[in-house]
Amino acid sequence: MSVQHDQAKGPMQDRIVVVTGGARGIGRAIVDRFTAEGATVVIGDLTDPGDPGQLEWVPLDVTDETSVIEFAQSVEAGHGGVDVLVNNAGIMAERSITEETLAEWDLTMAVNLRGPFLMAKHLIPFMEGREGASIINIGSIEGLVANRLHAAYCASKGGVHALTRSLALDLGPHGIRCNAIAPGWIDTDLNRSYVERHPDRDQVVADLERLHPIARIGDPADVAATAFWLASPDAGFVTGQVIQVEGGRTVRLSLPTTLEP
Ligand SMILES: NC(=O)c1ccc[n+]([C@@H]2O[C@H](COP(=O)([O-])OP(=O)(O)OC[C@H]3O[C@@H](n4cnc5c(N)ncnc54)[C@H](O)[C@@H]3O)[C@@H](O)[C@H]2O)c1
């Protein structure tokens, strides 16, 4: 049975959407897209997104259960429930496994994997019984394939994809869908530093674009569009999936440059 909504108002009118890490980057694009579609969006982030009066920000550290509980109670008190939870907050670091300290490993796991667990645990009670409720976890293509020196990040994102499938199974009977998005190279602060530190920035951008069959890197709005679709009634029969938003980058088999046609 499809979810009914007022066609004139759009599927996100009167919906309460929570976006972790919504202050900047991909999260901010998701906030902007849902807001433009008429949703009420609450940003949960360590940092202030700015734009007071336009954006609702509740300080949140997704690694800290007390902070998550206070956040959930604040959203419930202010809005009476949650329809869409986007677990987007994430961090990434480049280290060899022998250099990586236990504290660094634990921090990556805490933000990227414990965070979505805690947010789901404490917000699900406020999502149950709301028609069309869904959780969207931001994973990564690095949860499917790997970059060098990213062991903690890759492991955490593989965990996010597995958590997504588990939640889809457990929450389906409660009317809550759960899906993940696995973005590829998206132009945000998270990976801009990799481009900026190279002496020939234009060369790096050109090389990056060549990796993608569609000849460009991703924009945060590309991920936001998929998040919006996953939350909409059009995706009402979609759950437990990891949707790659990566311009086709991972479909190419690598060849030595000498053999490239
Ligand atoms: N940018 C990419 O190419 C790319 C690719 C694949 C996946 N991703 C994933 O997309 C998500 C967003 O990435 P981005 O590029 O926009 O990153 P970003 O660094 O630009 O923004 C991350 C946001 O998360 C917030 N945050 C960090 N730790 C937090 C915590 N403990 N509690 C609450 N908020 C916290 C930050 O304050 C920031 O606003 C991450 O999960 C990332 O792993 C990004």
Domain membership of residue 54 (yes or no) is yes
Residues with CB under 6 A from ligand 1: 20-21, 23-27, 45-47, 60-63, 88-92, 111, 138, 140, 183, 185-186, 188-191
pLDDT, averaged across the chain: 95
How far, in whole angstroms, is CA 217 from its chain's centroid? 17
Q: Look at 254 and 132; give whichever has higher pLDDT.
A: 132
Domain membership of residue 47 (yes or no) is yes
Domain membership of residue 76 (yes or no) is yes
pLDDT at site 8? 60
Cα gap 199→218, rounded to integer Å:
22
Domain membership of residue 121 (yes or no) is yes
Q: Are 177 and 137 in contact (CB under 8 A)?
A: no
Whole-number Å distance, alpha carbon 21 to ligand 1 midpoint, is 6
**What is the rounded (10 degree) CA torsion for 30, 36, 38, 42?**
40
Overall average pLDDT of the 145-168 stretch: 98
pLDDT at site 1? 37
- Residue numbers of the domain that contains 157: 16-188+219-247
* Amino acid code (one letter) for 154: C
Domain membership of residue 214 (yes or no) is no
- Work out which ligand 1 atom sits closest to the CA atom of 47: 37
Q: Which residues, including other chains, have CB under 8 Å from residue 152's CB and lie 6 or more apart? A: 93, 95, 100, 104, 105, 108, 109
Q: Which residues, including other chains, have CB under 8 Å from residue 103's CB and lie 6 or more apart? A: none
Overall average pLDDT of the 50-77 stretch: 97
Domain membership of residue 26 (yes or no) is yes
Cα gap 252→68, rounded to integer Å:
40
* pLDDT bucket at 2, cuts 50 / 70 / 90: very low
* Amino acid code (one letter) for 142: E
pLDDT for residue 222 is more than 50: yes
Whole-number Å distance, alpha carbon 113 to ligand 1 midpoint, is 12
Cα gap 19→190, rounded to integer Å:
17
Domain membership of residue 205 (yes or no) is no
pLDDT at site 30? 98
- Pocket residue to mutate for ligand 1, from 18, 19, 20, 26, most atoms within 8 A of Cβ: 26
CATH number of residue 64's parent domain: 3.40.50.720
pLDDT at site 3? 42
SS3 at position 101: coil
pLDDT digits (tens, 9 = 90+) for 87-124: 999 999 999 999 999 999 999 999 999 999 999 999 99
- Active-site residue set: 153
pLDDT at site 260? 86
pLDDT at site 61? 99
Domain membership of residue 204 (yes or no) is no
CA 192-151-230 angle, to 5 degrees, is 65
User: Which burial class, exposed, middle or buried, applies to 50 when counting CB atoms under 10 A from its CB (0-12, 13-18, 19+)?
Assistant: exposed
Overall average pLDDT of the 160-189 stretch: 98
pLDDT at site 6? 52
Structural domain count of the chain: 1
Cα gap 152→46, rounded to integer Å:
21
Q: Where are the alpha helices (DSSP H) in the chain?
A: 25-36, 65-79, 102-109, 115-127, 151-171, 189-196, 201-210, 220-231
